[in-house]
């Protein structure tokens, strides 16, 4: 089984990224051939500073390695180093429906937040994401719940490509991938506005816990987390703040909701919040320590990403060559040469 996922180097990684995606990446290294990339090209679709993009890329690489990605057990690279991603994006745009792109929630949200330019790249972002995954014929894509619509679109793109260009193939050229979502922790909400997901661009500063936040900052964020006027620690639609804290603690402990609810049945909100903060601090402590060791050595980070890109290129190049051939792009590889 082949696994693929990508993560943006925009902003600093938060607890939602960590629980919803990064922990899954680490676990999936032992479940198949895992391929992970930092999607710097996706990050250019909204306003950004080029020098800062490189800094954030190293930050993100060091966070992922500190969390447990092991270049000996996975392929770990930078998207922009493997040109097949952009070529395949263009080729697949011919089997992507404009109307489908127009329906993407993330495009609508992010386009609405732009003050100057809504880039065409923001609109075609989901095709690049489809190309990322389809170039590797990945079977499974571990992601957070917010990516469901993009995963559905990439499945449609693969199916439409196969039906249009290889209707009779015994093995379809593109694998139709499946999204995999954590049962607990696939959507971590903002601590101040628990109806919205914790997010780099759309969340509140006070409601967002960063992977690299100081312990006292993490504790303060949880202490001030919005709850409700009741006193019961149980999950309920009318209790989004408490439900989110229960979900965070269950995900961090690796337990279910019921055991968190029963452990804190007699606790007050204040004590519960501190318990969640303590568990998150403990979970992130080794990641932060390892990050501090890894981040300064950009040469070593580059070497890991470059080696990963070579391995990624070796997988993606023949897939993209087959797509070109099936689409009639470039010379016919079966045509006789001038000497024959
Ligand atoms: N709140 C979340 N809960 C669970 N999973 C989440 N993910 C993101 N937010 C949550 C998952 O993290 C992975 C990486 O996402 P990304 O590459 O989009 O990184 P990001 O830009 O840092 O994510 P944000 O904060 O969600 O970005 P914006 O603000 O740009 O929308 C993905 O698998 C995602 O599902």
Please name the helix (run of DSSP H) or strand (run of DSSP E) that holds residue 4, with its range, or none. strand 2-7
Residues recorded for the chain: 340
Q: Is 10 in the pocket of ligand 1 (CB under 6 A)?
A: yes
Distance separating alpha carbons of residues 155 and 170, to the nearest angstrom: 18
Helices (H), the chain: 15-17, 23-28, 50-67, 84-93, 98-102, 105-113, 120-134, 148-165, 215-223, 240-253, 257-263, 269-294, 298-327
Which tokens sit at 156?
A: 């449609």
CB-CB contact of 134 with 157 (8 Å): yes
Which tokens sit at 38?
A: 């930092």
SS3 93: helix
Report the residue among 3, 14, 17, 191 best suited for mutation to probe ligand 1: largest number of ligand atoms under 8 A from its CB. 17
Identify which of 68, 88, 77, 66 has the alpha carbon closest to the alpha carbon of residue 35: 77
DSSP assignment of 135-187: TTT-SEEE--GGGHHHHHHHHHHHHHHHHHH-TT-SS-SS---EEE--SSSSS
Q: Is 109 in the pocket of ligand 1 (CB under 6 A)?
A: no
Torsion of CA 120, 122, 127, 131, to 10 degrees: 110
Which tokens sit at 332?
A: 């016919």
Q: Is 129 in the pocket of ligand 1 (CB under 6 A)?
A: no
DSSP assignment of 205-225: STT--BTT--HHHHHHHHHT-
**Domains of the chain: which residue ranges?**
2-181+298-327, 215-293
- Estimate to the nearest angstrom the gap between the alpha carbon of 24 and the chain centroid: 10
Q: How far is the CA of 16 from the centre of ligand 1 (A)?
A: 7
Position 200 scores a pLDDT of 85
The residues facing 267 across adjacent strands are: none
Q: Is 276 in the pocket of ligand 1 (CB under 6 A)?
A: no
Q: Is 16 in the pocket of ligand 1 (CB under 6 A)?
A: yes
Q: How far is the CA of 217 from the centre of ligand 1 (A)?
A: 21
Q: List, run by run, the mean pLDDT of 10-residue segments along the chain (340 residues).
A: 95 92 96 97 94 96 97 97 98 97 93 89 97 98 95 98 96 97 95 94 92 97 93 93 97 96 94 97 98 97 98 98 96 71
Atom of ligand 1 nearest to the CA of 185: 4
Atom of ligand 1 nearest to the CA of 187: 3
Q: How far is the CA of 144 from the centre of ligand 1 (A)?
A: 7
pTM here is: 0.95
Q: Is 17 in the pocket of ligand 1 (CB under 6 A)?
A: yes
- Which CATH class name applies to 2-181+298-327? alpha beta
Q: Is 7 in the pocket of ligand 1 (CB under 6 A)?
A: yes
Q: What residue's CA is closest to ligand 1, atom 31?
A: 199
What is each CA distance from 116 to 40, 160, 230, 245, in whole angstroms? 21, 34, 43, 36
The residues facing 4 across adjacent strands are: 35
Q: How far is the CA of 139 from the centre of ligand 1 (A)?
A: 21
Position 339 scores a pLDDT of 58
Match 């092991």 to its residue by tokens.
Answer: 70
Atom of ligand 1 nearest to the CA of 144: 35
Atom of ligand 1 nearest to the CA of 197: 1
The CB density around residue 284, as the number of other CB atoms within 10 Å, is: 23
Distance separating alpha carbons of residues 31 and 138, to the nearest angstrom: 13
- Superfamily the domain 215-293 falls into: Tyrosyl-Transfer RNA Synthetase (1.10.240.10)
């Amino acid at each position: 089984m082949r696994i693929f996922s990508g993560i943006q180097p925009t902003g600093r990684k938060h607890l939602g990224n960590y629980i919803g995606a990064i922990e899954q990446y680490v676990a999936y290294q032992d479940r198949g051939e895992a391929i992970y990339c930092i999607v710097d090209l996706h990050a250019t679709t909204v306003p950004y500073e080029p020098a800062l993009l490189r800094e954030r890329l190293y930050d993100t690489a060091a966070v992922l390695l500190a969390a447990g990605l092991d270049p000996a057990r996975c392929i770990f690279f930078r998207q922009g180093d493997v040109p097949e991603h952009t070529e395949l994006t263009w080729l697949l745009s011919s089997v992507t429906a404009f109307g489908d792109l127009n329906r993407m929630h993330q495009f609508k949200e992010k386009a609405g937040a732009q003050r100057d330019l809504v880039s065409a790249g923001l609109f075609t972002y989901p095709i690049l994401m489809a190309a990322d995954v389809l170039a590797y014929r990945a079977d499974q894509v571990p992601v957070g719940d917010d990516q469901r619509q993009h995963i559905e679109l990439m499945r449609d793109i693969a199916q439409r490509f196969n039906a249009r260009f290889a209707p009779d193939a015994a093995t379809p050229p593109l694998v139709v991938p499946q999204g995999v979502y954590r049962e607990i922790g696939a959507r971590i909400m903002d601590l101040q506005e628990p109806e919205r997901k914790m997010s780099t661009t759309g969340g509140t500063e006070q409601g967002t816990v960063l992977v690299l936040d100081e312990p006292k900052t993490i504790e303060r964020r949880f202490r001030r987390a919005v709850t409700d006027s009741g006193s019961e620690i149980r999950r309920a639609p009318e209790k989004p703040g408490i439900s989110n804290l229960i979900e965070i603690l269950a995900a961090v402990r690796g337990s279910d909701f019921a055991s968190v609810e029963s452990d804190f049945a007699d606790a007050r909100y204040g004590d519960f919040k501190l318990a969640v903060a303590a568990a998150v601090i403990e979970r992130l402590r080794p990641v932060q320590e390892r990050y501090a060791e890894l981040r300064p050595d950009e040469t070593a980070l580059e070497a890991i990403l470059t080696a990963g890109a070579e391995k990624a290129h070796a997988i993606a190049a023949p897939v993209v060559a087959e797509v070109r051939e099936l689409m009639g792009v470039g010379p016919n590889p079966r045509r006789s040469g001038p000497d024959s």
